[in-house]
Each structure stands twice: as C-alpha cells, then as structure tokens.
Amino acid sequence: MSYLEYNVARVPSGFQKVLALNWALVLLVTAVSALGFLVLYSVAGGSWRWAEPQMQRFVFGLVVMFVVAMVPIWFWRNVSALAYAVTIALLLAVEFVGSTGGGAQRWIDLGFMRLQPSELMKVTLVMMLAAYYDWLPASKVSRPQWVLIPVVVILLPVFLVIQQPDLGTSILLLTGGGAVMFLAGVHWAYFATVIAGGVGLVTAVLQSRGTTWQLLQDYQYRRIDTFLDPESDPLGAGYHITQSKIALGSGGWTGKGFMQGTQARLNFLPEKHTDFIFTTLAEEFGFLGGMSLLILYLLIIAFCVGSALRNKDRFASLVTLGVAVAFFLFFAVNMSMVMGLAPVVGVPLPLVSYGGSAMIVLMLAFGLVQSAHVHRPRASGEGRLLRR
C-alpha cells in the first residue's frame, strides 16, 4: 500500500466521522447559545417570545453544522467560487426585492425566515479567499497583480453592503478579508499602505460632512458624535450608549440576579434582545458573567486556531483561521460598541443576540471548521488530486 493509499484509507467515514468531530467545540458553542437563551428569556420578562425561536434556530443550526462537517473539505473548496457568486447575487437581489427593517434594506423574505445575505457573505468571502490562496503558488502571493484580485473580491461585497446601508458589516467584511490575506502571506507593506490610506479616508470622511460630496449618511455621523461625546445628547443620539453604560455599571461584580435587571426589564435599554444584549447579561450576572462569556468565546477561538495549526491542508487551515478571525471580530466589535469603546455600528453578539441569519450562518461556519478537522488525516497532495 502506497503512502497516499494509506492516508486515504485513514480518512474517517460514517460513524467514524461523528466520533472525529471536535466535540469540545460543539459543547462550547452550545454553552454560549444556552446562555443566550437564558438572557433572551429574561429580557422578555419571563416569556419564551424570543428564546423559543432562538432555540429552534440553534437546533436547525446544529443540523447544518453536522451536515457540513460530514462533507469532505475539498468539496467546499470546489464550491467556494459558486457560493461567493450566489451570495453576490443575493446582495444584488436585496436592492430590488429586499425587505426593510429599522430603516435599512438588508433582508430577503423567504417565507419561513428572513435571510440577510450580508451575514452569509462573511463565510463565503472567507471560503473564496482561502480557495484562491490554496490555488495560488506561494511565490506569487505578494506580487501586485495577484494581490489585486482578492482586493476586488473583498471590495465588491463591501460596496454592496454599505449601500443597504450597513456600515458595521462592511467593516467586518473588509477587516476579515484583509486578515485572510495577511494569514495567507501577503507582504506587510501592502497593509501598511492600506492603514495609511485609511487614515486619509477618515480625514476625508470628517472633512466631507455637510458638503455636497458627503461620504457617510447623517445618522452615521451622529454615531461618531455620540461615540466621542455621548453626554452631548443623552436623550437623543447618545441615549443607547448612555443607558448601556448605566446597565453595565449597575451590574457590579456579581450582577443583580437572573431576571432582576432594571434597565432592560423597564425598557430603558433599546435593542435589548439584539445588539445590546451583552449589557443585559452584564447587568444581571455582573462582571463575572461577562467575563465567563468572554472566556467561552476565547476558548472557541483557541480550538479553531489549534485545529488550523495542526492541519496541513492550506485551504482547510485558512478557512479555519478565517472563521476564527470573523468570530473574534463579531464579539470584539459588539462588546466594544456597548461599552463605548467603539461607535455603535449595529453588530450582533454571536450566538447570543436574537436573530436567525447570524445564528445559522455561524453554525455553517463552524461546520466548515469541523469538516476541516474531521477530514484532516490526508496526504498533502490528496486534496488537490481529488479536486482535479
């Protein structure tokens, strides 16, 4: 038996794949989601109004994760370009048939749920970039003509999403895509140039306010003003962050107790079940509760990074690291936002905030991580041999 045949024989199948899953990751994801169910039950005043639908989505998401995990990782590499193209088409469809909520047009009504294509793009963009750098020889990674292609791949969905408008998701797509490029080995000088350009862009954004070539919407400028000085308009633009800080501070070390939070229960805190749900958790469970959630998040990232470092397949490794980066950006931006460390940009807290698209897409992403983990016992050339 040749070395390749031996490694093909070692690839788990059937029940062996289930046993080969990273069950620690499954338990961590379940623990975070369960904490989310508790908080949703609390903010609804002891009602299953939000918790029950979220539980149903989580169960469906688990099924999605297991199904994706059972499919060989090389298959997902092969369909990456198609998945990216379909998501781009969905983003375009939002412009024509999308449903509106909260003043933004971001969803497509499928009848049984509202799909937010920009959430799906966070995963398909990572898949597309990972497939590109898996195909591209390492010697060409930093050559200008080969750097331009992934830049276009990233900027296209960023442009479409910012039109919805959804500045928060646009920033996540731009940052997540850039992180995958960096992890793939693109030279640091490109990123230094982008950072310098970013400083110039921020200056231009601020200078354009009130002119005919204004670069942001008025409400986005108000968010910047609120970030810099929330007390300047405590009952208007600064209301969200002011109430959020009150809830965070009132929780103390151990919190007020389950279902005892006043800011959320008395409706002082807007978006208490979506973007600002972390403040409800911190008010009821205190600093220790917030830190417990943060530790669970960091453990999830640690398992993803560990799996990626042990994986010798370039696509599988980049996808796993890309999902880890996207997941980190999710909770880092949300927590920074509700604590006043970043402008309010409308990013949900992963696996905790109420919402169908974000939950299912995250479970799909973890399914890709599991697929990379389950199917990693391959010879280094097997993946390319099967793809061709």
Please write the tens of the pLDDT for every residue from 7-35.
444 545 566 777 778 889 999 999 999 99
> How far is Cα 201 from Cα 147, in angstroms, rounded to an integer?
21
User: Between these two residues, 174 and 95, which has the higher pLDDT value?
Assistant: 174
Which of 293, 217, 265 has the alpha carbon at shortest distance from 29? 293
pLDDT at position 128 is 96
Rounded mean pLDDT of 315-326? 94
CA angle 341/183/151 to nearest 5° reads 80
User: Measured on CA atoms in the order 110, 361, 181, 134, is the torsion positive or negative?
Assistant: negative
| pLDDT beyond 60 at 6 | no
Average pLDDT of the chain is: 84
| pLDDT beyond 50 at 387 | no
DSSP assignment of 95-115, as one string? HHH-EEETTEEEEEE-SS-EE
User: Which residues, including other chains, have CB under 8 Å from residue 330's CB and lie 6 or more apart?
Assistant: 172, 347, 348, 349, 350, 362
Q: What's 189's DSSP letter? A: H
Which of 295, 250, 242, 301 has the alpha carbon at shortest distance from 270? 242
User: Could you give the count of Cα atoms lying within 13 Å of 83 in the half-sphere of its Cβ?
Assistant: 22
Q: How confident is the model at residue 105 (pLDDT cuts 50, 70, 90)?
A: low
| pLDDT beyond 70 at 192 | yes
Q: Write out pLDDT tens, residues 292-316.
A: 999 999 999 999 999 999 888 899 9
Q: How confident is the model at residue 99 (pLDDT cuts 50, 70, 90)?
A: low
User: Between these two residues, 214 and 88, which has the higher pLDDT value?
Assistant: 88
Write down the number of H helices and E strands in the chain: 17, 3
pLDDT at position 13 is 58
User: Which region holds residue 107: left if phi is over 0, alpha if psi is between -120 and 50, else beta?
Assistant: beta
Residues above pLDDT 90, as percent of the chain = 44
> How far is Cα 291 from Cα 61, in angstroms, rounded to an integer?
25
> How far is Cα 182 from Cα 201, in angstroms, rounded to an integer?
21
| pLDDT beyond 60 at 386 | no
Largest separation between any pair of C-alpha atoms in the chain: 74
Residues above pLDDT 70, as percent of the chain = 87
> How far is Cα 169 from Cα 346, in angstroms, rounded to an integer?
8
User: Which residues, including other chains, have CB under 8 Å from residue 140's CB and lie 6 or more apart?
Assistant: 146
Give strand pairing partners of 104: 101
Tell me phi and psi for residue 2, to 5 degrees.
Answer: -75, 165
| pLDDT beyond 70 at 320 | yes
26-30, 127-131, 250-254: least confident range: 250-254
Angle between helices 144-162 and 167-184 (to 10 degrees): 160
pLDDT at position 2 is 38
DSSP assignment of 259-284, as one string? T--HHHHTT-STTTTTTTHHHHHHHH
Q: Write out pLDDT tens, residues 223-233.
A: 777 777 777 66
Angle between helices 117-135 and 80-97 (to 10 degrees): 150
Rounded mean pLDDT of 31-52? 89
